[in-house]
Amino acid sequence: MLREDVTEAIRAAVFEELASVGYARMSIEGIARRAGVGKTAVYRRWRSKLHLVLDLVSAIAVQGLPAPDTGSLEGDLRLLYEVTSRALRHPVASQIIPDLQAEAARNPEIAEALQKALREGQHGVASGIVRAAVERGELREGTDEELALDLVSGPLYWRSVVVRAELDKGYLARLATATAAGLRAL
């Protein structure tokens, strides 16, 4: 029987390695070293670096996010942005996400795992918000959902991850207002 505490130490080490050196530079030896564990323990659980990471990403994907339901489009967006921006503020997340995202451009398996996580996370929640707004009559019946999701998720990602500028007080509220206005124009 594999020891669970060892497994957990390895998982934690992978996250740390992923954040500090990235997927490409990450090595099994480095993971074992950081976890205070023999290489054997790692190989006994996962066949390779790829399997290890895919496993972790899938595990996260399963979690899913809570769906906001404030009764208004703008309120829902505001809540979604609060949660998302808090998650993206964690250094671990903000380092790992773009790293894996870049890696996905080269590795179809990672791409698929990330897509799944995205679909069950951000994408799913945003989709729920938009549909609720349509049912409520806040958005038109024929609203282009794909475009709507891009309008909802794009700006915050751009600012947090690409531009990496800080979000001053009130930014999220104004973003929610502007986004809701854009959605109503669809």
Partner DNA sequence: TCACGACGATACGGTTGCGTTCCGACGTGC
Partner DNA sequence: GCACGTCGGAACGCAACCGTATCGTCGTGA
Q: Confirm or reject binding of residue 30 to DNA (CB under 7 A).
A: yes
Q: Tell me which residues in 99-128 interact with a copy of itself (CB under 8 A).
A: 99, 101-103, 105-106, 111, 118, 123
Q: Say how far apart CA 78 and CA 23 lie, in whole Å.
A: 33
Q: Say how far apart CA 162 and CA 174 lie, in whole Å.
A: 19
Binding site partner of 41, from DNA, a copy of itself, none, Cβ cut-off 5-8 A by kind: DNA
Q: Say how far apart CA 89 and CA 22 lie, in whole Å.
A: 18
Q: Say how far apart CA 121 and CA 64 lie, in whole Å.
A: 5
Q: For residues 29 and 150, which CB has a smaller minimum distance to DNA in the complex?
A: 29
Read out DSSP for 123-184? IHHHHHHHHHHHHHTSS-TT--HHHHHHHHHHHHHIIIIII-----TTHHHHHHHHHHHHHH
Among 110, 113, 134, 153, binds a copy of itself (CB under 8 A): 153
Q: For residues 36 and 64, which CB has a smaller minimum distance to DNA in the complex?
A: 36
Among 11, 16, 28, 145, binds DNA (CB under 7 A): 28
CB of 74 to a copy of itself, least distance (A): 11
82-85 long-range contacts, CB within 8 A, separation 24+: 82/172, 84/122, 84/156, 85/156, 85/160, 85/167, 85/172
Q: Tell me which residues in 37-76 interact with DNA (CB under 7 A).
A: 37-41, 43-44, 48-49
Binding site for a copy of itself (CB under 8 A): 20-22, 24-25, 94-95, 98-99, 101-103, 105-106, 111, 118, 123, 144, 146-147, 150-151, 153-159, 161-165, 171, 174-175, 177-186
Positions in the binding site for DNA (CB under 7 A): 1-3, 6-7, 27-30, 36-41, 43-44, 48-49
